[in-house]
Structures are given as structure tokens and as C-alpha cells.
Amino acid sequence: MPKSEKEKLRHGYPRMEWHGGYVRVIRPSVLMLERGYVFDIDGASCFAFGGARSHDISDGIIDPRDYQSETEMCEVWEQRQHQMVRTYGVSWWPQEMPTPKEMQDGKQILQEYMAKHGSVDFVFTHEAPASDKRYLGYDTDEFSRYLESLKQMMVYGKWFYGHLHGNRKVFENHYLLYEHIYQIH
């Protein structure tokens, strides 16, 4: 059985050290920054921490392994197509959320970097910190609160995130980016 794209990101693509952290090499010119590292990119320090909880799965997750045939699964999907559901291994993966170890390691790496350098230039996350989510009218979860704890312990220039699917300057140095391109350097 072929690996899903999310499984490939974690295990199937070569891992290498790059500019102060670890990346997965998707293609020679496409790298996935691993969670929790500070990268030196073109002279700028960039803390990266991907992941977020899907907010459109309130009606559940369809797991293809629960069905005898693809036809049976498609019938269930057809019945639930107007619900807020995702399909395991197709549109939802457990790896969308960071593990406790990834969060612990990311915090430690960031603390060590801050002790040595004092600040980072840019923060790139998929999820928004809890204070931004509350300001924008969204509920928080353990991961957005984790990001908020990182926000409180660091000095940074600009923070970019996209999970909330919008394009706007949220605070003086916080940007919600979804479809726009923003030159940062």
C-alpha cells in the first residue's frame, strides 16, 4: 500500500540538516522545514512550527479501514457529504497535530536560541497563538495555547500564520496569510 503524502513528509522523504535545523527534501528546490527549529535563511532567523487541529471535522472522521469495500465507504461518504467530515489518510491525518515531544523539543530549542541570541526575526506557524485566535473570534485549543506560551517567552520581529484562511494584518507584527504573498526581507 502506498504511503499517504503526510506519512511521506514524516518518514519517506530524505531528512537533512539545513541552515540550523532539519528539513525533509521533497524536491531539490522544495524543502519542508521540520517543527521547532530556528533556521538562518538569507541572514534572518526564522522559527518554524507547523501543525494545527482541523476545525472542520465536527461531524467526525471517516476511516476507510472501517469498511469492507470502497463502494461501502463511498455510500457512507455520499450520505455525509454535507456534514463537516474528513477522511483518514485522504483529507485528515493524526500527524496534523504536533506530538508532546515535538512541542517539548521546540520549546527547548527556542529557549536555548533566545538565551544565546535574544530574539528571532520571523516566526512561521500554521496555527495562530491563542491571543490572536481569541481576537479573531475563534476558540483556542492546547496547541494555540502552546504557541501563546512560546510567544510570551520570546522576542520576535514578525509572526506569520495561515490556518484561519484569511489575509490580513492582525496586530502590528502578526499576519494572517492564506492567498497573499508578502515580501519579508
Q: Where do the domains of the chain lie? A: 5-53+96-176, 55-91
CATH architecture of 5-53+96-176: 2-Layer Sandwich (3.30)
Q: How confident is the model at residue 10 (pLDDT cuts 50, 70, 90)?
A: low
pLDDT tens track for 27-48: 999 999 999 999 999 999 999 9
Give the confidence band of 2 by pLDDT, cuts at 50, 70, 90. Answer: very low
Residues near 19 by beta carbon (within 8 Å), at least 6 away in sequence: 39, 40, 41
* Higher per-residue confidence, 13 vs 79: 13
Note the pLDDT tens digit of each residue in 154-164.
Answer: 999 999 999 98
| pTM, rounded to two decimals | 0.83
| Residue whose grid cell is 506519512 | 7
Q: Which residue has the higher pLDDT, 79 or 11?
A: 79
Q: Which residue has the cell 512560546?
A: 150
Grid cell in block for residue 184? 519579508
pLDDT at residue number 1: 31
pLDDT digits (tens, 9 = 90+) for 71-82: 887 888 788 877
Q: If you average pLDDT over residues 11-33, what whole number do you get?
A: 93
Distance between CA 103 and CA 51 in Å, rounded? 11
Helix (H, G, I), strand (E, B) or coil at 83: coil
Chain CA centroid to CA 94, Å: 12
pLDDT in tens, 105-153: 999 999 999 999 999 999 999 999 999 999 999 999 999 999 999 999 9
Write the burial class of residue 70 (CB in 10 Å: 0-12 exposed, 13-18 middle, 19+ buried). Answer: exposed
Q: Over the range 14-27, which residues count as b (16 or more CB within 10 Å of their CB) and which as e?
A: eeeebbebbbbeee
Strand pairing class (86-87; 61-62): parallel
- Within 8 A by CB and 6+ apart from 86, the residues are 54, 56, 57, 61, 62, 92
- In the chain, the percentage of residues whose pLDDT exceeds 70 is 94
Can you read off the three cell numbers belonging to residue 45? Answer: 532567523
DSSP string of 89-125, one letter each residue: TTTB-GGGSPPHHHHHHHHHHHHHHHHHHS-EEEEEE
